[in-house]
Chain A
Amino acid sequence: MNDKTVYYKPLPPKPATLMILEPGANVRMVSLDGDMRVGRDVPGSTADIRINSAIVSRDHGEFIYADNSYHYKDNGSLNGTYFNGVYMKKINERGSRALRLIDGDILRIDRHNLSIPHPDAVIAIFSTSFNINEQWYRYDLSGQIQVPIGRNIDCGISLTDFMASRNHAFLQMQMDGRWKIIDTGSTNGVAVNKNLINGEQVLNPFDIIKIANTSLIFLGNEIIFNVVRTNTEKLDYNNRSVVMNVGIEDVKVRRHGSLGKKTLLRNIHLDIESGDFILILGGSGAGKTTFLRALLGQYRANGKIMLGDMDLYKNFKMLKHKIGIVEQFSSTRDNDTVYHTIEDAALSKLAGDYSNDEIHQRVEDIIKRMMLTSLRNNLIKNLSGGQKKRVEVAIQAIGDQEIFILDEPDSGMDFASRVDLMENLKSCTESGGVVSVISHSPDDAAELFTKVIVLAKSQSDEVGHLAFYGDVPNALKFFGVNKLSEIVMEINYEGGKGRADEFINKFEATRRG
């Protein structure tokens, strides 16, 4: 047993964004970074978030980061704050109770009668999935009856999102003056408030409409929507957003020949951010593959996996295309060429809604990005293991996948090919994608990984647990080792030091603070 105290730096606050809608101003995005105070923008104000509105107090409220979540508290302001339409009551002279914020929560500073908004009313929408760098636009609905939404340039709300259909949906005003959204049979569907709609749905103010990667917020008389970043834009690592929030209580799987289900994984809670290149480590039976299957939706875990602001399991049909997997076995046809393999994947995924020119351009971009230009006319069977994996990643990347999972992509490769492949995979994260890799040769390219997930099988319940989640330097400190491969030796019971339970308990204690 190692009795040295090891310094372990806890994870920084989760990135979150506040979208502020002020009267007559453009949409403002504010990055939340731990505790922050909100107040009126007046000379000498010390507020972190300053709002230009007469009905906002100098010290109106504050955001508090605690227990891995953001909370909001009204500091006894004169006009108060509405939390999802409910007035936050003052409980003492310091203000109201702090309320935990989740994606889509709406804070509003307004007069008491919300149906007649004050001209200086301010609305703020909390999100962990809005990207701070994205531009947002306002679209005025007044005087209109029908507004088409889609990639088509003629649409009233014209989207730049590659995965939106040309004519994706339209907004229509009903006889009673309320608006509804109608899905025009789009490829990727329309979700309202995180639920896929069936044909059409009547909208209420502050409903969040999701069309592919575009969020549209309905405010009653206007729509605000984001301009989706293209996958050629470089990610700003200082302003990353949470792509996936994993909250797995347990994963139970029915084994062949047995009637009941066996628990294989328990208590996995972590956030994956845009641009992460994640190494998944663990001994045999620690639940690595089970974890991947749960992320893919192939095993339904008890708990929640949020992809952006949507529940993966509840919206599986709409979201499953966003997670691509490259399996250990080859999933390409040996006797087809590299170009045709990728082109067919593009045609198959994007058919019907994209012109041949658009698809061709997409294929060329991917071939270039995955450095396959010189191999484009080669048959797959003539490629090396690493080149084949690059083709398989290209196939997955041709759609709008946000997360790529690779199960031992480097097995059977020599050192140079392994490093080459990992560098290639790392390049996929530079535009904001997430790549998760199970590898048994983690030290080849250890410096490339941004995070390490360590899964370990506990002896007490014979189930896989999270033994660590954090960056590489912290992982080495946490386990007291010099190399990533030594982590597995530390936790393995068979052929290792058998310290899995020690690290599981230590990490759980660290996580809980």
Chain B
Amino acid sequence: MTKRLKQTSIYIKKNFRLFMNQKDWKFILIAAVISFLVCSIVGENMFSTYEDTKSGFFAIISAAIWIGIFNSIQRICKEHNTITSEYRSGLHISSYIMSHVIFDFFICLIQSAILMAICCVFIDFPSDGIIMPAVAEYFITLFLVVWGSDIMGIMISSVASTPNVAMTAMPFVLILQLVMSGVLFILEGWSEVIANVTFSKWGMSALGSVADLNSEELPLKMSLIFPEVRRVELEDVYDCVASNLLIAWGMIMLISLVCIIISIISLKFRNRGA
């Protein structure tokens, strides 16, 4: 166990050096640019109507997922040969994966802080949250989505044999996340089941709950013209209750954990003969 922890620490330091030498800090700049673009477009109409707020959250969640995946999707697959060599010399795959997960925790923390800060510039967030101030709840949600997506990128990168394969898989994964968010389409049957393993669905659920999307204070656009028009079918996942928020956070963490396990298993399987 001590050796695993020690190796994790060695690889975290190595990740930091590579981050600097490869100028990977550009991913933080990219995150800032994406956040700026998204927030500047959706910011004005947020918290005015139900549709605009929901669409705004959808855009922010999509940006968070993109930022997270893009951090890590090519990182593991480009050093498969190195991993094989190091595994043979005593590297623990779990230490290697955990070093990336832990190092990316800090990168994602910075990226989600930038995303949140830019959101705060363009969006006038209500102050009341469910269990803590709303800004803190939004920040935690965005951070978990960015970090979770980053870990999903690690998983894809572990399974993919080359960076090309990983980059080919990326659009499919992104489309799946967007389609399964429950914003663009109504999910029923098998699609509802699949949606349960996407960060977009749980990210939307958390943001929608904190913003209380079911509240009458966020009317339909049509209600602004025809005040007698009211929403009849409310969406349970957006109820402003603590259970919704905590379940959403919990599910994001659970999916991330499954991604970590799949990453470790796939790399061990790939190197089984070494």
Contact = CB atoms under 8 A, between A and B. Distances in A.
Contact of A298 (B2, B6, B17, B273): B273
Interface string B211-230: 00000000000000000000
Interface in A361-403: 379, 395-396, 399
Given A298-B273, A333-B18, A325 B88 contact: yes
B21 interface: yes
Interface stretch (B50-58, B76-84, B168-176, B247-255): B76-84
Interface string A303-347: 000000000000000001100110101111101110010001101
Contacts of B17: 335-337, 340
Contact of A331 (B7, B18, B84): B84
A320 B21 contact: no
A348 B81 contact: no
A351 interface: yes
Contact of B89 (A329, A333, A396): A396
Interface string B230-246: 00000000000000000
Contacts of A330: 81-82
A331 B21 CA distance: 18
A348 B3 CA distance: 8
Contacts of A325: 85, 88
Contacts of B274: 298
Contacts of B6: 347, 351-352
A332 B82 contact: yes
Given A320-B88, A325-B88, A351 B10 contact: yes
A330 B86 CA distance: 12
A349 interface: yes
A399 B82 CA distance: 17
A24 B225 CA distance: 110
Contacts of B88: 296, 320, 325
Contacts of B91: 348
> Chain B: interface secondary structure?
helix
A333 B273 CA distance: 22
A351 B86 CA distance: 14
A365 to B, nearest CB: 18
A187 B3 contact: yes
A329 B81 contact: yes
A349 B81 contact: no
Given A333-B18, A335-B21, A347 B89 contact: no
A340 B17 CA distance: 9
B14 A349 contact: no
B18 A351 contact: no
Nearest to B3: A352
Interface size class of B (residues with CB under 8 A): 20 to 34
A440 B46 CA distance: 68
Interface in B1-56: 2-3, 6-7, 10-11, 13-14, 17-18, 21-22
B90 interface: yes
A96 B231 CA distance: 104
Contacts of A321: 89-90
Nearest to B274: A298
Given A298-B274, A321-B90, A336 B84 contact: no
B18 A324 contact: no
A504 to B, nearest CB: 29
B3 A333 contact: no
A325 B6 CA distance: 24
B89 A340 contact: no
Given A298-B274, A333-B18, A340-B17, A395 B10 contact: no
B89 A349 contact: yes
A325 B11 CA distance: 22
A298 B90 CA distance: 15
Given A187-B3, A348-B7, A327 B85 contact: yes
Interface string A183-196: 00001000000000
Contacts of A349: 89-90
A348 B90 contact: yes
A301 to B, nearest CB: 14
Contacts of A333: 14, 18, 79, 82
B86 A348 contact: yes
B6, B22, B84, B90 pick with most chain A CB within 10 angstroms: B90
Interface string B86-112: 101111000000000000000000000
Contacts of A327: 81, 85
B18 A344 contact: no
A391 to B, nearest CB: 12
Contacts of A335: 17-18, 21-22
Nearest to B91: A348
A336 B15 CA distance: 10
A331 B82 contact: yes
B89 A399 contact: yes
Contacts of B89: 321, 324, 345, 348-349, 395-396, 399
A291 to B, nearest CB: 16
Nearest to A380: B21
Contacts of B10: 344, 347-348, 351
B3, B89, B91, B273 pick with most chain A CB within 10 angstroms: B89
Given A325-B88, A351-B3, A399-B89, 16 more contacts: A187-B3, A298-B274, A327-B81, A327-B85, A330-B82, A333-B79, A335-B17, A335-B18, A340-B17, A347-B6, A348-B91, A349-B90, A379-B21, A395-B89, A396-B89, A399-B90
| A-B CB proximity, top 9 nearest | A331-B85, A351-B6, A335-B21, A352-B3, A335-B22, A352-B2, A347-B10, A298-B273, A331-B82
Interface of A: 187, 296, 298, 320-321, 324-325, 327, 329-333, 335-337, 340, 344-345, 347-349, 351-352, 379, 395-396, 399
16 contacts: A187-B3, A320-B88, A321-B90, A324-B89, A327-B81, A327-B85, A330-B82, A331-B81, A331-B82, A331-B84, A333-B18, A336-B17, A336-B21, A348-B89, A348-B91, A352-B3
